[in-house]
Amino acid sequence: MIKKIINILLNLIVSVLVLGVVIIVLASNTVLNKDYIKNKFKENRFYERTYSDIKNDFENYTMQSGLELEILDGLFTLEKVSNDIDSKIDYIYDGKEFKIETDSIRNELDSRISNALKENNRVPSENEKKSIKKYEDVIVNSYEKGILYNKEFRINVEKYLSTAKIACISGIVVISIILIVINRSLLKYLSFVGISLMFTGITSIGFKILITKRVQHILIMDAKFSNFLVNTLNDILDIIKLTGIIFVVIGFLLIVLGSFEKMKKSIEK
């Protein structure tokens, strides 16, 4: 009886540790992987939509200032927006030094306004100079806010995840040795492994079923980020489901294989 209780407890711990390894590996390859995030940005047209949003903000501020919209033509490019977003992602994940370059926008805008005034033979008054400076500040600030919402934060959990992963794997190995020693049967141990994989697989599938509907209507930041987030979460949930199905199948096969010894004893009796 005591042996069975120990087996159940150890098997439960192994199941939790296996689930922990799955979560760590999944997180490392998705939300904590900058290349994965960049690819998801491309798939969801995040760069293009950011460029369009910044351009719309520029036009709104320009119309409010009384200037012609033509002054914005070619002021910045989609390539610049994409590069700035990618650089910001590199900063978030790797800590690479990063600063949004806006001098080119300010200088070009200032040059265009000066040329427009010269064409109309106008010399700006002190108040007009202040208004122009304020307009340029607003445009520059709008661009900076458009690059990932100008949020300053870092993701630096790789060391902790690596430690947690090693701890989980070490725990699985140690407990596996204990189970083999206690039961003195490799087939029975395979059956325990199968149960652990079944537990992880069923938990993963259940999580996918419970969460799927809840993520469809997430609204965070704005429409483009919400769209990116929902599609990315759906992609991760699909990976979780597929992993769960694979674990259930492998677990079932190992349980069947581990039952051969018990079947053999039953036949002999």
Looking at the whole model, is its pTM more than 0.85?
Answer: no
Cα R_g (the chain), whole angstroms: 29
The answer to whether 38 and 148 have CB atoms below 8 angstroms apart is: no
pLDDT digits (tens, 9 = 90+) for 91-131: 888 877 788 888 888 888 888 888 877 877 777 777 877 88
Q: Is 225 helix (H, G, I), strand (E, B) or coil?
A: helix
User: What are the backbone dihedrals phi and psi of residue 191, each rounded to the nearest 5 degrees, phi first?
Assistant: -65, -40
Separation CA 258–CA 180 (nearest Å): 13
Q: Nearest-CA neighbor of 200 among 17, 31, 25, 9?
A: 17
pLDDT digits (tens, 9 = 90+) for 142-199: 998 988 887 777 777 777 888 888 999 999 889 888 888 887 777 777 888 888 888 8
Per-residue model confidence (pLDDT) at position 256: 82
Separation CA 269–CA 256 (nearest Å): 20
**Packing angle between helix 223-258 and helix 34-43, nearest 10 degrees?**
120
